Amino acid sequence: MHVLLIFAHPRRASFTGEVAAAFAEGLREAGHTLEFADLYQEGFDPLLAEAQFGLETALDPAAPRPADVVAEQARLDRAEGLVFCYPFWWSDVPALLKGWFDRVW
């Protein structure tokens, strides 16, 4: 199985980073493949631009999508499994991951 792991923590050297690393190691040992998406390290832009918001709220499937969103959606298309690894701050996901959900999902 090919798994996409979405990692949303500013530091790899953290408890969250260790959890992600242990999961990735176990997955590989079990014979699976993994794509590790580190949203902070990759510089994912969580902001939904006003122009893009207008296109998305028009509900037009033919509307153009930003290249970074297309790339993230391609990652999802390749995956057979999906894992999110993030800290639980103030009873919610980090803002970067919330922006990823809003723009990509």
CA distance 104 to 94: 15
For residue range 39-67, what is the model confidence (pLDDT) as tens digits?
999 999 999 888 888 777 777 778 888 89
Please state the domain extents for the chain: 2-104
Pair of tokens at residue 56 = 């998305």
Interval 68-92 mean pLDDT: 96
For residue range 17-30, what is the model confidence (pLDDT) as tens digits?
999 999 999 999 99
Residue 51, pLDDT score: 81
CATH code that applies to domain 2-104: 3.40.50.360
Task: State pTM to two decimals.
Answer: 0.89
Burial class (CB in 10 A: 0-12, 13-18, 19+), 9: buried
Q: From 46, 27, 47, select the one nearest 35 (Cα to Cα).
A: 27
